[in-house]
Amino acid sequence: NERTLVIVKPDGVSGNYTTSIRNIILQSGFTIQAQLTLHLAQHTVTTFYAEHSTKAFFPSLVKYMTSGPVLIMVLEKVNAIADWRTLIGPTDARKAKITHPHSIRAMCGEDLQRNCVHGSDSLHSAAREISFFFPEGTTL
């Protein structure tokens, strides 16, 4: 089995999509290994998204991700990383509404930035992201 890290971003939480998203997760055969609701601090987002720190959209991304509470989950299943990325659809929620109308981002995202959910994009980033929010020693 594989694990992946999911974040329901501030727009997903404030738009009351967490129940729908949790239902999709369970109906798709994932188990929820851990969950945590947090209002992320600026430095947490800056560290989590360090790979994007030089991009023009970074300040706006930090503002968005700190704008309200997020729901962080560790999901487990065979092929969890790729299957979750398929379920959420493309990064740009505006495009997702056209090309992947049944995806999670089509359901609750708005545009390229406000796209409602995150999913780890590789085994390497899943390991990093899970230990980022659930450090060694945390019981999962």
Q: Give the active site residues.
A: 118
From the list 18-26, 37-45, 95-103, 116-124, the region that binds ligand ATP by CB under 6 A is 116-124
Q: How many helices (H) and strands (E) does the chain have?
A: 8, 4
Q: Is 131 helix (H, G, I), strand (E, B) or coil?
A: helix
Which member of 35, 61, 94, 100 binds ligand ATP (CB under 6 A)? 61
Tokens 């981002």 belong to residue: 105
CB of 23 to ligand ATP, least distance (A): 20
Q: Does 103 bind ligand ATP (CB under 6 A)?
A: no
Q: State both tokens at 7.
A: 């974040």
Which member of 26, 41, 112, 127 binds ligand ATP (CB under 6 A)? 112
Contacts with ligand ATP, residue ranges (CB under 6 A): 52, 57, 61, 91, 112-113, 115, 118-119, 121
